[in-house]
Amino acid sequence: MKEEKAAEEGISEEKVDTVYKRLKQEAEKSGYHLNPDVEFTKDLVRGLLTNEERYGYWACPCRLASGNTEEDLDIVCPCYYRDPDLNDYGACYCALYVSDEVIREEKEVESIPERRPPQEEREAARAEESEREEMMETMEISGKLSKPVWRCKVCGYLSAMDEAPGVCPICKAKKERFERFM
Amino acid sequence: MNIFNQDTDKGKHISGIDKGKVLMYGLSTCVWCKKTKKLLTDLGVDFEYVYVDRLEENEENEAVEKLRHFNPSISFPTTIINDEKAIVGFKEKQIREALGF
């Protein structure tokens, strides 16, 4: 693995270390766990930093990014697939995040199937979503709801406000990763 | 840091024991791909790997089209053996078996 490390562009060990520590702290604070295999995990952090340089955002290191932010919103780390994968397999697709069972060594981490739908399906889903959003926008909010409800697509946090929060208070995902839910 | 080797590794042919045509599509940032590459290297088989994320746009499109044929979800690593069998993910047992180990 040495050879790949040397080939990565100008990402110092110190930077990897700093980001790893920050990520670990944030994860633990919100009830998540990073993979306890530190070498493995730091390699993934290196991948995230490489993608940040390449694309300007934390595209998932184990998926092919398009370079188009809107198209890749679902695979910005933490991706929309992390939580369902943690539930089903005990790890996210890259195995950057792992479940309690893995931490307790009751389950082993392995390479898991890809949950992200193929491109055409994703495009169709996006079109449907924006249609729904438009519909909601024009719908009179009846006596039932005094405010629209926004859903964080990373962690499911719901917020009933005129606008989605700038940053998710739970998982720190940015505003563009919220959808109009109700 | 070796500045002459910066981000240039798009893939390579690794010589070894002939077990048929072995081609791994991977991403340079993906740890499961590294593990697969290491497994193939350790097994000492003759293989080729391509880091799709490091290809030029037209080369990338070409690689993705080829890969789609074997693995419609375009996920990595995908190891293609003799242009017929594709092993998706780092599946050590499956890879060993497919190569006759």
Q: What is the pLDDT of residues A113-131, one digit of tens each?
A: 999 999 999 999 999 988 8
Structure confidence at residue B1 (pLDDT): 39
Whether this model's ipTM surpasses 0.85 comes out as: yes
- Nearest residue on chain A to B8, judged by CA atoms? A7
Token representation of residue B38:
């290491």
Cα separation of B81 and B88, whole Å?
A: 11
Q: Kindly list the structural domains of chain B, giving each domain's residue range(s) and its CATH number in brackets, ordered by start.
A: 13-96 (3.40.30.10)
Structure confidence at residue A142 (pLDDT): 53
pLDDT tens across A54-112, in order? 999 999 999 999 999 999 999 999 999 999 999 999 999 999 999 999 999 999 999 99
Structure confidence at residue A1 (pLDDT): 44
Closest CA to A83 of A24, A33, A36: A33
Rg (CA), chain B: 13
The residues on B that touch A, with CB distances below 8 Å, are 1-2, 5-9, 27-34, 38, 52-53, 64, 72-76, 88-91
DSSP summary character for residue A91: B
Number of A:B CB contacts under 8 A? 80
A90 exposure class (CB count in 10 Å sphere: 0-12, 13-18, 19+): buried
Contact B59, B83 (CB under 8 A): no
A64 touches chain B (CB under 8 A): yes
The residue ranking higher by pLDDT, A12 or A3, is A12
Structure confidence at residue A6 (pLDDT): 44
Q: Which of residues 122-161 of A touch B (CB under 8 A)?
A: none
Match 């998710």 to its residue by tokens. Answer: A168
Residues of B with Cβ-Cβ distance to A16 under 8 angstroms: none
Average pLDDT per 10 consecutive residues for chain B, totaling 101 residues: 55 94 96 97 97 95 95 96 96 96 91
Cβ of A7 within 8 Å of Cβ of B5? The answer is yes
Torsion-angle region of residue A157: left (phi > 0), alpha (psi -120 to 50) or beta? beta
Cβ of A62 within 8 Å of Cβ of B9? The answer is no
Q: Distance (Å) from the C-alpha of residue A74 to the closest C-alpha of chain B?
A: 15
Closest CA to A65 of A77, A11, A44, A124: A77
Q: What is the largest CA-CA distance in chain B?
A: 39
Cβ of B74 within 8 Å of Cβ of A64? The answer is yes
DSSP summary character for residue B93: H
Q: Using CB atoms, which residue from A40, A50, A95 is nearest to B29?
A: A50
